[in-house]
Amino acid sequence: MNKNSKIYIAGHTGLVGGAISRLLKKEGYKNLVEKTRAELNLENELAVQSFFEKEKPEYVFLCAAKVGGIISNSKKPAEFILNNLKIQNNIIDSSYKSGVKKLLFMGSSCIYPRMAQQPIKEEYFMTGPLEPTNEAYAVAKIAGINMCQSYRKQYGSNFISVMPTNVYGPGDYFDLERSHVVGALIVKCHTAKKENIKEITLWGTGNAKREYIHCDDLADASLFLMKNYDDGEIINIGVGEDISIKELAKKIKKITGFEGKIIWDTTKPDGMPRKLLNVDKLHTLGWKHSIDFDRGIRETYEWFKKNITLK
């Protein structure tokens, strides 16, 4: 892939796709193709086929997806599985038919079993039951992985699949319906401070542990793998460290200046008890994250204050 290669970023307005777009432009890639949903509905098979036939991108970052936290995943499982399957199927198939040189499929760590041994190695994939709260989304991602591997096996397509841990950073969702945990905590603490609310309620026990990667680190890892990884087997992208939701809440409480009380609603689910990725494979290739978590959270909160207006 060179600086003049034609590169299509599917989902460039989202958290991950946006970070990849920023990085590629910063690195001097001059021939990027980016389409908003209004310009190209990725769930429309004929529209996607026509786009690929016309544009003929050489490289594809498949970051487009319907995403959300526990609330939206629990409420709309049919939408999560159907929409994501449509997007993946259309882009992967059209990439093959139009002769794309290489495609990177953005998976998710939720594809791993709920009770997987920690830290989670790539070979634990498909070795146990999934976490019920995001099963529909996970099944769609699993199908995307298998589709990339199947096109590689049958047609020789250089399609790779990466499995990032929980992502946060500028451009994230900051509404309680779609937010993941970092975005949701920022919104709750910021709103409580602003409106002088004395306590906030969070789901679960707070004991579940999660690993977080800044979207800019994920973008950097994705570009690195697009250049240096050509294997059909999945590869984890993470930082190799995790913290409890309770500790995360304390960090965000301090950064936002919220001084009230946190109530834990233990009638609500925690999700997976722990989700820490083994990133030995990625480290062996020569990539490690560079953004400190505390710094990343502070930068995310500053971006939120400048760019998000809450209703």
pLDDT tens string 221-280: 999 999 999 999 999 999 999 999 999 999 999 999 999 999 999 999 888 899 999 999
Percent residues over pLDDT 70 in the chain: 100
- The 10s digit of each residue's pLDDT in 141-183 is 999 999 999 999 999 999 999 999 999 999 998 987 778 889 9
Tell me the two tokens of residue 146: 């298998």
End-to-end Cα, the chain, rounded Å: 43
Q: Whole-prediction pTM value?
A: 0.96
Q: DSSP letter for 206, please.
A: S
Q: Which domains does the chain have, with CATH numbers?
A: 7-168+212-241+275-291 (3.40.50.720)
d(CA 134, CA 108): 11
pLDDT at 10 (0 to 100):
98
Helices (H), 60-176: 70-75, 77-97, 135-155
Residues whose CB falls within 8 Å of the CB of residue 86, separated by 6 or more in sequence, listed in order: 42, 43, 45
pLDDT recorded at residue 311: 66
Helix (H) or strand (E) holding 32: strand 32-33
pLDDT tens-digit map of 90-138: 999 999 999 999 999 999 999 999 999 999 999 999 999 999 989 999 9
pLDDT digits (tens, 9 = 90+) for 43-99: 999 999 999 999 999 999 999 999 877 777 778 999 999 999 999 999 999 999 999
Q: Is 212 a catalytic residue?
A: no
**Set 137, 168, 212, 301: catalytic member:** 137
